[in-house]
Amino acid sequence: MVIKCPVCLKQWDSSLKVARHVFGTGDKVHKTWVNSRGVSFTDLLIRQATGSGNQSFLILAEIIEKAQADLSEDQPDACQKTDMRDSPRAAR
Ligand SMILES: [Zn+2]
């Protein structure tokens, strides 16, 4: 299963790796994206530093997984396929 970073579209084989990438990069665009999903990037970082386990990674990984649907919906290719299927020519 390929998971893309919703910000820079780099790919990994698990959402946890993408979460690690987002934390590790930590530049303005990645921070802004995390904040735009309704969670505080800084809070997650603090929680990761002070808490035990992977809780922050898991939270971020879940957000990244949900964002994958938005990424594929934006692809123009999917729209074109639907248009072709609905056209009278394709039905013949
Ligand atoms: Zn990225």
Tell me the per-residue pLDDT of 23-36, one tens digit each, with 9 for 90 and over.
Answer: 999 999 999 999 99
Which pLDDT score is estimated for 78? Answer: 45
Those residues whose C-beta lies under 8 Å from the C-beta of residue 27, and which sit 6 or more positions away, are none
Cα 59 to ligand 1 centre (Å): 16
Cα 79 to ligand 1 centre (Å): 26
Q: Which residues pair with 71 in a beta bridge?
A: none
Cα 90 to ligand 1 centre (Å): 39
Cα 58 to ligand 1 centre (Å): 16
Q: What's the average model confidence in pLDDT over 40-68?
A: 92
Position 72 pLDDT exceeds 90? no
CA–CA separation, 48 vs 53, rounded Å? 8
CA–CA separation, 37 vs 41, rounded Å? 10
Position 82 pLDDT exceeds 70? no
Position 85 pLDDT exceeds 60? no
**Average pLDDT of the chain to the nearest whole number:** 84
Cα 52 to ligand 1 centre (Å): 25
Q: What's the average model confidence in pLDDT over 49-66?
A: 91
CA neighbor of 17 nearest in space, from 61, 55, 51 = 61
The reply to whether the predicted model has a pTM over 0.85 is no
- Cβ neighbours around 64 below 10 Å, total: 27
